[in-house]
Chains A and B, each alone.
Chain A
Amino acid sequence: MTALPTRKLEAWRYTELKSLAAISFAEPKPAKISAPLPDLGLPRIVFVNGSFNAALSNAPDFVGPFAKVLDDSALPLVQINAANAQDGITIDIPAGIDAGAIMLISYANAAEPIAFHPRHRIVLGTNATLTIIEVALGQGVYWHNPVTDITLQEGATLGHYRLQDESAEAFHLATIRADIAEKAAYESFSLVVGGKLSRAEFHTNLNGPNASTHLNAAQLLRGRQHADFTSVVGHKAPNCASRQTVKSVLFDHARGVFQGRIEVAQIAQKTDGYQMNQALLLSPHAEIDIKPELEIFADDVKCSHGATIGALDPEQIFYLRSRGIPEDQARAMLIRAFLTEALEPVTHEAARTFLEDAIETWWARK
Chain B
Amino acid sequence: MLDINNLTAKIGDKEILRGVNLTVPDGEIHAIMGPNGAGKSTLSYVLSGREGYEVTGGSATYNGQDLLAMEPEQRAAAGVFLAFQYPVELPGVGNANFIRTALNSIRRARGEAELDAVAFLKLARAAIKNLSMPDDMLKRNVNVGFSGGEKKRNEVLQMALLNPGLAILDETDSGLDIDALKIVADGVNALRSPTFSALVITHYQRLLDHIVPDYVHVLAAGRIVRSGGPELALELEAHGYAGLEAA
Direct contact of A and B (CB under 8 A): yes
Asked if residues A319 and B84 are in contact (CB atoms below 8 Å), the reply is yes
Question: Which chain B residues in 54-88 approach chain A with CB under 8 Å?
Answer: 71-73, 75-77, 81-82, 84, 87-88
Contacts of A326 on B, CB cut-off 8 Å? 71, 73, 105
Cβ contact within 8 Å between A324 and B49: no
**Is the Cβ of B92 less than 8 Å from the Cβ of A325?**
no
- For the complex, is A363 an interface residue (Cβ under 8 Å from B)? no
| CB pair B92 A337 closer than 8 Å | yes
How many positions in chain A have a CB within 8 Å of any CB in the partner chain? 24
Q: Is B202 an interface residue (CB 8 A)?
A: no
Specify which of B88, B101, B106 is in contact with A319 (CB 8 Å cutoff).
B88
> Are A333 and B72 in contact, with the CB atoms below 8 A?
no
**CB pair B162 A324 closer than 8 Å:** yes
B105 contacts A318, C-beta separation under 8 Å: no
Contact of B101 among A313, A315, A329, A339 (CB under 8 A): A329
B139 within 8 A of A: no
Cα(A182)–Cα(B204), bound, Å? 62
Q: How far apart sit A25 and B99, CA to CA, in the bound complex (Å)?
A: 53
Given known A-B contacts A334-B93, A337-B91, A325 and B105 have beta carbons under 8 A apart: yes
Q: Which residues of B contact A8 (CB under 8 A)?
A: none
* Contact pick for A321, options B72, B84, B141, CB 8 Å: B72
Closest to A336 in B: B92
Please count the residue pairs between chain A and chain B whose beta carbons lie under 8 angstroms apart in the complex.
79
Residues of A within 8 A of B123 (CB): none
CB distance from A182 to the nearest CB of B (A): 34
Is B50 positioned at the interface, with any CB of A under 8 Å from its CB? Answer: yes
Cross-interface CB contact of B87 among A314, A319, A324, A336, cutoff 8 Å: A319
The answer to whether A324 touches B105 (Cβ under 8 A) is: yes
- Distance A318 CA – B72 CA, assembled complex (angstroms): 7
Nearest-neighbour CB distance to chain A for B114, whole angstroms, equals 12
Closest to B88 in A: A319
Choice from A313, A315, A323, A327 contacting B102 with Cβ under 8 Å: A323
Partner of A340, one of B51, B92, B106, B158: B92
The answer to whether B105 and A341 touch across the interface, beta carbons within 8 angstroms, is: no
CB neighbours (8 Å) of A321 from chain B are: 49, 71-73, 76
Size of interface on B: residues with Cβ below 8 Å to A: 31
Chain A residues with CB under 8 A of B105: 323-326, 329
Inside 8 A of A329's CB, which chain B residues have their CB? 101, 105
Residues in A with CB closer than 8 Å to B90 are: 316, 319-320, 334, 337
A333 contacts which chain B residues (CB < 8 A)?
A: 93, 97-98, 101
Is B48 interfacial (CB 8 A cutoff)?
A: yes
- Residues of B contacting A337 with CB < 8 Å? 90-93, 141
Q: Which residues of B contact A320 (CB under 8 A)?
A: 90, 98, 102
Contact of A322 among B72, B91, B141 (CB under 8 A): B72
Given the known inter-chain contacts A314-B51, A318-B50, A337-B91, please indicate yes or no for A323 contacting B84, CB distance below 8 A: no
Q: B75: which A residues are within 8 A, CB to CB?
A: 322
Q: How far is the CA of A316 from the CA of B144 in the complex (A)?
A: 12
Contacts of B103 on A, CB cut-off 8 Å?
A: 324
Q: Across the two chains, which residue of chain B brings its CB closest to A339?
A: B92
Q: Across the interface, do B71 and A327 meet the contact criterion of CB distance under 8 Å? A: yes
Question: Which of B73, B105, B106 has most A Cβ within 10 Å?
Answer: B73
Task: Tell me how far the C-beta of B20 lies from the nearest C-beta in chain A, rounded to whole angstroms.
Answer: 20
Shortest CB-to-CB span from A317 to chain B, Å, is: 9
Asked if A338 CB lies within 8 Å of chain B CBs, one says yes
Most A C-beta atoms less than 10 A away, residue of B49, B71, B97, B101: B101
**Residue of A322, A327, A333, A338 with highest tally of chain B CB at under 10 A:** A322
How many angstroms between the C-alpha atoms of A329 and B106 in the bound complex?
A: 13
Q: Does B109 contact A (CB under 8 A)?
A: yes
Which partner residue on chain A sits nearest B89 by CB separation?
A316
Min CB gap B246→A, angstroms: 34
B93 nearest in chain A by CB position: A337
Closest-CB distance, B191 to chain A (whole angstroms): 16
Least CB distance, B86 to chain A, in whole angstroms: 9
A82 and B117 alpha carbons, distance in the complex (Å): 52
Q: How far is the CA of A326 from the CA of B71 in the complex (A)?
A: 9
Knowing A318-B50, A319-B84, A333-B101 touch, does A324 contact B93 (C-beta < 8 A)? no
8 A Cβ contacts from A340-356 to B: 340-341
**In contact, A324 and B106 (Cβ under 8 angstroms):** yes
Residues of A within 8 A of B91 (CB): 337
Instruction: Give the residues in chain B near A323, CB-CB below 8 Å.
Output: 73, 76, 81, 98-99, 102, 105, 158, 162
Q: Give Cα distance in the complex from A326 to B109, angstroms.
A: 10
Chain B residue with the shortest CB-CB distance to A314: B51
28 A–B contact pairs at CB < 8 A?
A313-B88, A314-B51, A315-B88, A316-B90, A318-B88, A319-B84, A319-B87, A319-B90, A320-B102, A321-B71, A322-B48, A322-B72, A322-B75, A322-B76, A323-B73, A323-B98, A323-B158, A324-B102, A324-B103, A325-B105, A326-B73, A329-B101, A334-B90, A336-B92, A337-B93, A337-B141, A338-B92, A340-B92
Q: B interface vs A, CB < 8 Å?
A: 48-51, 71-73, 75-77, 81-82, 84, 87-88, 90-93, 97-99, 101-103, 105-106, 109, 141, 158, 162
